[in-house]
Amino acid sequence: MTIKKLVLIAAAALLTASPALAADDMLTIGFTVSRTGKLNNDSIAQMRGFELWRDELNDQGGIKVGGKQYKVNFVSYDDESVNARVQQLYTRIINQDKAQFLFSPYSSGLVATAAIVSEQYGRIMLTTGAAEEKTYKLGNKNLFQVYSPADLYLAGAIEAVKELNPKSQVALVYKDDPFSKAVLQSARKQVSEAGLTTVLDEAYSPETTDFGPAINKIISAKADVLLGGGHYPDGATLARQLYDHKARLKWVTLLVAPDSPNFATLGEAAISISVPSQWEPQVSFKPDFGPTAAEFTQRFQAKYGIEPGYHAAGGYAAGLLLQRAIEQAGSPEQAKVAGVLNSMDVTTMFGRTKFSTNPKEHGLQMGHEMVIAQWQRKGGNVVKEVIWPKAAKSSDVVY
């Protein structure tokens, strides 16, 4: 066989393997996952949510559009928790892998980058794990936020603290990153409106490894309430050191970290730490379609062996919402699906979903409500309970 023939065969093989030639009864959804890097804990949970939805859907035959059924195929890459990778990979996902729809990466910072690419190519992207509002206020037309926006994250905790002790002295100590700063910007205002006193208000560097000096500052400020944190590694370290340093705070709400089932590995240090949560397995929404929270929890546990947190539930809900929109649009065409998403007002296992259609904040989540979960000791085990709002609580507050 001549070299020329070999080259021709190789070229033919490459063309056959090209993902551009996907079957026409297949819908491709693309996204990146932080399989490695500092965001991997929550990002992988989110991906598992996507995957459970896809597997269940494909087992049932796929998305029903008119008389046809589309199975769902995922194209995903590891973004290494790095912005530059997100930019390269979303471009690849759209141009080379020809994804028709997109899910977002995890975290507000990475989503801000992915949104630039998705808007540039006019692809619908359901964002989950991205609470910061700024991205939705830049005139984007194809983003749809599944989570409650950042300004609501600490509202419940502040309301609860006010009810427990209106003279509370609050320390705001948070990670110096876009999401945490966005949350705290609103929280600062909400603390003051609630008539509580802020005695310390400081951001810490994302590279912080030792929170000893920060904790001494909290003690010196005579704070009895701490609101803040950021993501998993820093939040877990802060919680452990608060316990080691016996900081004697009456209420601690940290962002994101305590929602992860891994947080229980902190043992005693986890007790009484609370977290604003987009979703908990105990919620009892009556879904218009899809499973209930209890059914989802049971299926997730059966597949992955751990209880789902809100990142996993958000991922699953993103799948359900996109599926519903495509089914109701009667076509996988972008404009038709976007039209359905714009007018959507539904309840799933994740709660209510309604996207803003105001051009100044298009896609911002308007319907979803958050809860507060707290780690408590029950019968020798460290468990997470819903404590706020009272209507949704599964246990009383430990204060």
Partner 1 sequence: MGLALQMTGVIASIIDGVLVGAVYGLAAMGLTLIWGVMNVINLTHGAMIMLGMFALYFLTSALGLPPYGAVPVTITAGFVFGVLVYWIAVHRVIGRAHLMSLLSTFAMNMVLIGISTALFSTSPYNVPVPLPGVTWREYTFTGTHIMAAMLALLLAGLLYLLLYRTRIGKAIRAVADNRDAAELNGIPTTQVLSFAFGLGVALACVSGTLIATLFPFTVLSGGAYELKSFVVTVLGGLGNPAGALIGGVALGLIEGVTASFMPLNWTPIIEFVLFVVALILFPRGIFAFARA
User: By CB under 8 A, is residue 246 in contact with partner 1?
Assistant: yes
Question: Which span (69-77, 136-144, 216-224, 361-369) binds partner 1, by CB under 8 A?
Answer: 216-224
User: By CB under 8 A, is residue 240 in contact with partner 1?
Assistant: yes
User: By CB under 8 A, is residue 248 in contact with partner 1?
Assistant: yes
Task: Give the residue with the Cβ less far from partner 1, 359 or 380.
Answer: 380
User: By CB under 8 A, is residue 381 in contact with partner 1?
Assistant: no
DSSP codes of every residue in 93-140: HHHTS--SEEE--SSHHHHHHHHHHHHHTT--EEE-S---SGGGGS--
Question: Which span (3-11, 103-111, 200-208, 279-287) binds partner 1, by CB under 8 A?
Answer: 200-208
Question: Of these, 116, 219, 271, 306, which contacts partner 1 (CB under 8 A)?
Answer: 219
User: By CB under 8 A, is residue 166 in contact with partner 1?
Assistant: no
Question: Of these, 160, 173, 187, 371, which contacts partner 1 (CB under 8 A)?
Answer: 173
User: By CB under 8 A, is residue 303 in contact with partner 1?
Assistant: no
Alpha-carbon dihedral sign for residues 49, 50, 56, 59: negative
User: By CB under 8 A, is residue 271 in contact with partner 1?
Assistant: no
Question: Of these, 202, 307, 327, 369, which contacts partner 1 (CB under 8 A)?
Answer: 202
Task: Give the residue with the Cβ less far from partner 1, 233 or 389.
Answer: 233
| Residue count, binding to partner 1 (CB under 8 A) | 41
CA dist 101 and 63 (Å) reads 13
Question: Which span (34-42, 125-133, 139-147, 151-159) binds partner 1, by CB under 8 A?
Answer: 34-42
Q: List strands edge to edge, sheet with 197-204.
A: 197-204, 169-175, 225-229, 251-255, 273-277, 371-378, 381-388
First to last CA, the chain: 79
- CB of 250 closer than 8 Å to CB of 223: no
Q: Which of 236, 162, 234, 233 is closest to 192 using CA atoms?
A: 162
User: By CB under 8 A, is residue 286 in contact with partner 1?
Assistant: no
Question: Of these, 162, 245, 303, 354, which contacts partner 1 (CB under 8 A)?
Answer: 245
DSSP codes of every residue in 302-321: HHHSS---HHHHHHHHHHHH
Task: Give the residue with the Cβ less far from partner 1, 37 or 291.
Answer: 37
Within 8 A by CB and 6+ apart from 123, the residues are 94, 99, 100, 101, 102, 142, 334
Coil, strand, or helix at residue 323? helix
User: By CB under 8 A, is residue 185 in contact with partner 1?
Assistant: no
Task: Give the residue with the Cβ less far from partner 1, 44 or 125.
Answer: 44
User: By CB under 8 A, is residue 188 in contact with partner 1?
Assistant: no
Task: Give the residue with the Cβ less far from partner 1, 248 or 360.
Answer: 248
What is the DSSP pairing of strand 351-354 with strand 345-348? antiparallel
Tell me how far CA of residue 88 lies from CA of 83, 91, 126, 130, 345, in angstroms.
9, 5, 19, 19, 34
Residues in the site for partner 1, rule: CB under 8 A? Answer: 35-38, 40-41, 44, 173, 176, 202-205, 207-210, 212-214, 216-217, 219-220, 222, 232-233, 236-237, 240-241, 244-246, 248, 262, 265-269
